[in-house]
């Protein structure tokens, strides 16, 4: 697999489309940080790390509205292994005029675009979620 972050986002997107309650994937520190941000921003219910047969798995529990409507309507990868997208603190775009979030990896860790703008950090723009 050449892009594990795109694989994670695709698994979440497909699980939301299929109205699944949870989705499992191989774990990494970056995936755990992305799941942490999704939980903090209210896009997922929670996440859990498990160990099976010496391999780590990340389970993401999805969140839906009171009538079963999707909380995540679109999740897209911005920076890819073949075309990295870096932004400075002044170039961080707003997603849907501030209704969505973007996730950046900075020199001070993984954070949302809003938090990076506030703290004055730029970095690699991983994905947009709304």
**pLDDT tens-digit series, residues 9-51:** 999 999 999 999 999 999 999 999 999 999 999 999 999 999 9
This prediction has a pTM of 0.93
**DSSP notation for 62-106:** E-B-TTS-BS-S-EEE-SBTTB--EE-TT-PPPSGGGTSEEEEEE
Q: Which CATH number fits domain 4-129: 3.90.1150.180, 3.40.190.10, 3.30.1360.10, 3.30.1370.30?
A: 3.30.1370.30
Q: Is the pLDDT of residue 1 over 80?
A: no
- In this predicted structure, the answer to whether residue 79 has a pLDDT above a threshold of 90 is yes
Radius of gyration of the chain (CA): 15
For helices 29-40 and 4-17, what crossing angle results, to 10°?
40
* pLDDT-above-70 percentage for the chain: 100
Q: Name the strand (E) or helix (H) holding 54.
A: none
């Amino acid at each position: 697999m050449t892009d594990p972050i795109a694989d994670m986002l695709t698994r979440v997107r497909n699980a939301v489309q299929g109205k699944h309650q949870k989705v499992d994937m191989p774990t990494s520190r970056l995936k755990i940080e992305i799941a942490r941000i999704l939980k903090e921003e209210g896009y997922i219910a929670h996440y859990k790390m498990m160990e099976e047969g010496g391999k780590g798995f990340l389970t993401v529990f999805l969140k839906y509205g009171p009538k079963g409507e999707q909380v995540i309507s679109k999740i897209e990868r911005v920076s890819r292994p073949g075309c990295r997208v870096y932004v400075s603190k002044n170039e961080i775009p707003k997603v849907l005029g501030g209704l969505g979030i973007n996730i950046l990896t900075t020199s001070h860790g993984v954070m949302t675009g809003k938090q990076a703008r506030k703290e004055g950090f730029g970095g690699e723009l991983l994905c947009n979620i709304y």
